Amino acid sequence: MDPALTALRGPAFTFRHDPFLGDPETSLAFEPDALIVMRGGRIVGYGGHSAERERYPADLPVAHHPDALICAGFVDAHVHYPQLEMIGAFGETLLDWLQRYTYPTELRFADRSHAERVAAVFLRDLLRAGVTTAAVYCTVHEHSVDAFFAEAERVGARMVAGKVLMDRHAPPALLDGADHGAAATERLIARWHGRGRALYAVTPRFAPALTDEGLRVAGRLWCDAPGTLMQTHLCETEAEIAWVRELFPGRASYLDVYAEAGLVGPGAVFGHAVHMAEGDLAALHRARCGLAHCPTSNLFLGSGLFRAHDARRADRPVRVGIGSDVGAGTSLSPLRTLGEAYKVARLGGSRLTAEQGFWLATRGGAEALGLEDRIGTLAPGMEADLVVLDPAATDLLAFRMEAAGTLAERLFALMTLGDERCVRATYVAGVPVWMRPDRPDDQAVPAGGLRRISQ
CB 71 within 8 A of CB 43: no
- Phi and psi angles of residue 431, each rounded to the nearest 5 degrees, phi first: -110, 130
- How does residue 448 score in pLDDT terms, banded at 50, 70 and 90? very low
Question: Structural domain of residue 403, as residue ranges?
Answer: 6-72+377-435
Cα distances from 23 to residues 15, 249, 346, in angstroms, run 12, 43, 19
pTM over 0.85: yes
Q: pLDDT digits over 8-37, tens only?
A: 999 999 999 999 999 999 999 999 999 999
Number of domains in the chain: 2
- How does residue 92 score in pLDDT terms, banded at 50, 70 and 90? confident
Instruction: State yes or no: pLDDT of 176 exceeds 50.
Output: yes
Instruction: State yes or no: pLDDT of 425 exceeds 80.
Output: yes
Are 401 and 421 in a shared domain?
A: yes
Are 267 and 226 in a shared domain?
A: yes
Are 21 and 66 in a shared domain?
A: yes
Q: Map residue 64 onto helix, strand or coil.
A: strand
Are 192 and 253 in a shared domain?
A: yes
What was the pLDDT predicted at 446?
Answer: 42
Of 368, 386, 404, which one is at a domain's C-terminal end?
Answer: 368
For residue 145, being part of any structural domain is answered with yes
Are 155 and 240 in a shared domain?
A: yes
Q: What is the mean pLDDT of residues 377-402?
A: 98
For residue 240, being part of any structural domain is answered with yes
Are 216 and 78 in a shared domain?
A: yes
For residue 444, being part of any structural domain is answered with no
Of 368, 396, 415, which one is at a domain's C-terminal end?
Answer: 368
CATH number at residue 416: 2.30.40.10
Non-local (6+) Cβ contacts of 41 within 8 A are 156, 383, 384, 429, 430
CATH number at residue 123: 3.20.20.140
Q: What distance in Å separates the CA atoms of residue 120 and residue 273, rounded to the nearest whole number? A: 30
Are 61 and 169 in a shared domain?
A: no
For residue 226, being part of any structural domain is answered with yes
Q: pLDDT digits over 341-381, tens only?
A: 999 999 999 999 999 999 999 999 999 999 999 999 999 99
For residue 35, being part of any structural domain is answered with yes
For residue 447, being part of any structural domain is answered with no
Are 54 and 94 in a shared domain?
A: no
For residue 1, being part of any structural domain is answered with no
For residue 448, being part of any structural domain is answered with no
Of 343, 368, 393, which one is at a domain's C-terminal end?
Answer: 368
Are 211 and 337 in a shared domain?
A: yes
In this structure, how many other beta carbons lie within 10 angstroms of the beta carbon of residue 28?
A: 21
CB 339 within 8 A of CB 36: no
Instruction: State yes or no: pLDDT of 449 exceeds 60.
Output: no
Are 126 and 165 in a shared domain?
A: yes
Are 304 and 415 in a shared domain?
A: no
What was the pLDDT predicted at 3?
Answer: 64
What was the pLDDT predicted at 256?
Answer: 98
Are 293 and 423 in a shared domain?
A: no
Q: What distance in Å separates the CA atoms of residue 438 and residue 393, rounded to the nearest whole number? A: 10
Angle value at C-alpha 405, between 35 and 19, nearest 5 degrees: 70
Q: Which of 59, 67, 65, 16 is nearest to 36 (CA)?
A: 65
State the DSSP string of 169-197.
SS-GGGS--TTTTHHHHHHHHHHHTTSTT
